[in-house]
Structure 1
Amino acid sequence: METDAQQLSALARRDILAATVQLIERHYERIYAFLRRLAGNDADAADLTQRTFSRAQQALPTFAGRSSVASWVHGIAYHIYVDWRRANGRTEARPDEWWKLRRSAETGPDQQVLRSDLAACVYACVDRLQADLRQTVHLHYYQELTLQETADAMGVAVSTVKYRLRQALDELQKQLAAEPNSSTVTLPRPARL
């Protein structure tokens, strides 16, 4: 049975336009959300997303399907973002407060306030992480990529991803412990890193 990557690779050899449409339909929302989180605003995220899919379309004929499509597209998006930051003289991403717009699935107002406050605290702590740690957290936890997919997207070894995640979790635990309203917050440790 062919994987999505192999199917996309085969489709790209037959019909590049159809392959591009399929790629955009399946991955646009996740790539946009990833870039929105990194760039800090809708306009830049939309521009970076467009650049990502434009570059992906150019690279589709050479995509061999050896990695997952998600990690391949996230890798392109990540490199587009890094290039954009360098070109604009940015050394750090701008603060992002998109999480204030998120709504909780909880129905009670008390639960919504608690979850919103906790989310705000966690996202603020994540935004204070070093760039490499923050981007690793975004890919693995927010975009739900596997360790291998995160490594592929960032162009690093899986062991580097594991190390960065461990560093990020340790740093987040310290930051959350220092937050005045987060004394009861404990970050769950993944089963295996």
Structure 2
Amino acid sequence: MTSTSADGPSDAALVRAARVGDEEAFQVIVDRHGPGMYRYARRLVGGSDADAAEVTQEAFISAWRSLGTFAGRSSLKTWLFRLVHRRAVDLQRHRRPTPINDDLLLRMVRPAQDNPLQQVLDTELLTALQAALDELPWHQRAAWLLREVEGLSYDEIAEALALPVGSVRGHLHRGRRTLAERMARWR
């Protein structure tokens, strides 16, 4: 593995090494991108740890098997998020929708420090946000999570969701508008 940086080998170097069977290089890919993939999967599948782990694992199995077809037209991260998205869609097709129960949304609100009233308000805010996210259509929720929580660009979201950038912008606009309406009392 070459072209190392302060953060270790580049994704491109890891992909090249993993393509020729370097399992350690693939493990670095898993360690580097797995937490974000898992967070995204968990939100998409309704907060189930078991389902999120299954979706993430299936995405990594698919990635390992198809590294040879990864052309690098998108970033490795975007490609991996797309694999997670596909596996989550497959899982949801076979199940009824379930609400999001996502403890990771706690990061979006700073915890109250020794203030019981603020703790109650924070809990109510997170509950309201989770309920509002539950009500968003699939693509709006996916686009919002990838943009606002995972920090992907519009182009990366388009690649991950296999949608045109214009559709991503539309889904984000409608999702943000719906969330703003539902969260208006928290302004």
Q: Same fold (TM over 0.5)?
A: yes
- 1:31 maps onto 2:37 in alignment: yes
Q: How many Å apart are 1:65 and its aligned residue?
A: 2.1
Q: How many Å apart are 1:101 and its aligned residue?
A: 8.5
Q: How does 1:66-81 map to 2 (within 5 A)?
A: 66-81=73-88
Is the alpha carbon distance of 1:100 and 1:82 closer, same or farther for their aligned partners in structure 2, counting shifts above 3 Å? closer
Q: How many Å apart are 1:50 and its aligned residue?
A: 1.0
Q: Is the 8 A contact 1:16 1:57 kept in 2?
A: no
- What are structure 1's unaligned runs of at least 5 residues? 186-193
- Paired amino acid for 2:98: R
Q: How does 1:1-193 map to 2 (within 5 A)?
A: 4-40=10-46, 41-86=48-93, 88-90=94-96, 93-99=97-103, 102=106, 104-109=110-115, 110-177=117-184, 182=185, 184-185=186-187
In 2, distance between residues paired with 1:65 and 1:132? 24
In 1, distance between residues paired with 2:31 and 2:50? 20
Describe the superposition over 1:141-193 as per-residue Cα deviations: whole angstroms up to 9, x where unpaired: 1222111111110011111111111111111122223xxxx2x52xxxxxxxx
- Paired amino acid for 2:26: T
- Paired amino acid for 1:57: W
Q: How many Å apart are 1:124 and its aligned residue?
A: 1.3
- Paired amino acid for 2:34: Y
CA RMSD after TM alignment: 2.4
Q: How many Å apart are 1:79 and its aligned residue?
A: 0.4
Q: How many Å apart are 1:129 and its aligned residue?
A: 0.9
Aligned to 2:177, the other structure's residue is in SS state helix
Q: How many Å apart are 1:12 and its aligned residue?
A: 2.5
- Paired amino acid for 1:98: D
In 1, distance between residues paired with 2:140 and 2:179? 10
Q: Is the 8 A contact 1:137 1:168 kept in 2?
A: yes
In 1, distance between residues paired with 2:148 and 2:140? 12
In 2, distance between residues paired with 1:108 and 1:151? 42
Misfit runs of 4+, over 6 Å: none
In 2, distance between residues paired with 1:10 and 1:97? 38
In 2, distance between residues paired with 1:164 and 1:34? 17
Q: Is the 8 A contact 2:111 2:122 kept in 1?
A: no
Identity of aligned residues (%): 31
Q: How many Å apart are 1:42 and its aligned residue?
A: 0.9
- What are structure 2's unaligned runs of at least 5 residues? none
